[in-house]
């Protein structure tokens, strides 16, 4: 059933944001190298769990930027892309509501939101990291590699290790929206995490096609 794809995207994004956010809380935030490492693996392993749980149903996008790239590559229809986007934002919000239920504090939920100290640095970092992440996803899923889930999860770990100090390493509009909405932390800064990953997805698609054509 078509509805199952959307439910799978909702649940997968819920797992990603819920477990990843709780990983942030478990180590008290990104206060040092060990904490950044732990947070990176929390999000990477949460993504892997989502892929293994429902990836066979929806393709395990769990990220509006990934869905945009898949739409551009013709792997998903516009109507399904819209359904995926709605499900992803809903799943991220529900994941953050679970964190709220556990912590009983909107301030605690807000502490799991992505932030940047410098606009230009945050913008460049989000575009660059999303480009790498989405490009990898386009490539390994097209080949149907058995190692695709591990490759995608480990790349997200790497994204966090590289990006947390500079942008919070969102690379996912839904992941940033959920904690910001539930934690009453929506401000002008959220927009960067909406459009920068989408720009990165477009760049990733262009690079993917460039090298795909070269292989033909």
> Measuring CA to CA, how many Å separate 108 from each of 101, 158, 168?
11, 25, 16
Integer Cα distance of 25 and 8 in angstroms: 26
Residue 145: its pLDDT value, please? 75
Per-run averaged pLDDT (10 residues), the chain, 216 residues: 89 98 95 95 98 96 98 97 98 98 95 94 98 97 88 98 97 97 89 97 97 68
Residue 1: its pLDDT value, please? 61
Q: Where in the chain are the domains? A: 2-215
Fold of 2-215: Glycerol uptake facilitator protein (1.20.1080)
Residue 68: its pLDDT value, please? 98
Contacts of 67 (CB under 8 A, 6+ apart): 61, 76, 81, 84, 85, 88
Residue 186: its pLDDT value, please? 87
């Amino acid at each position: 059933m078509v509805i199952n794809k959307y439910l799978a995207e909702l649940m997968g994004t819920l797992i990603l944001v819920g477990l990843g956010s709780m990983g942030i809380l478990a180590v008290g935030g990104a206060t040092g190298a060990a904490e950044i490492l732990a947070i990176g693996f929390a999000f990477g392993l949460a993504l892997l769990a989502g892929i293994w749980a429902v990836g066979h149903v929806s393709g395990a996008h769990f990220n509006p930027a990934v869905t945009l790239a898949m739409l551009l590559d013709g792997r998903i229809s516009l109507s399904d892309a819209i359904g995926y986007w709605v499900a992803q934002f809903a799943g991220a919000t529900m994941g953050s509501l679970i964190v709220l239920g556990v912590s009983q504090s909107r301030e605690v939920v807000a502490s799991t939101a992505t932030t940047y100290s410098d606009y230009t640095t945050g913008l460049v970092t989000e575009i660059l990291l999303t480009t790498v992440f989405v490009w990898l996803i386009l490539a390994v899923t097209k080949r149907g590699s058995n190692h695709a889930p591990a490759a995608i999860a480990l790349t997200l770990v790497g994204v966090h290790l590289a990006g947390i100090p500079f942008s919070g390493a969102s690379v996912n509009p839904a992941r940033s929206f959920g904690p910001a909405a539930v934690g009453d932390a929506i401000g002008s800064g959220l927009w960067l995490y909406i459009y920068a990953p989408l720009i990165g997805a477009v760049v990733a698609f262009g690079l993917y096609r460039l090298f795909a054509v070269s292989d033909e």
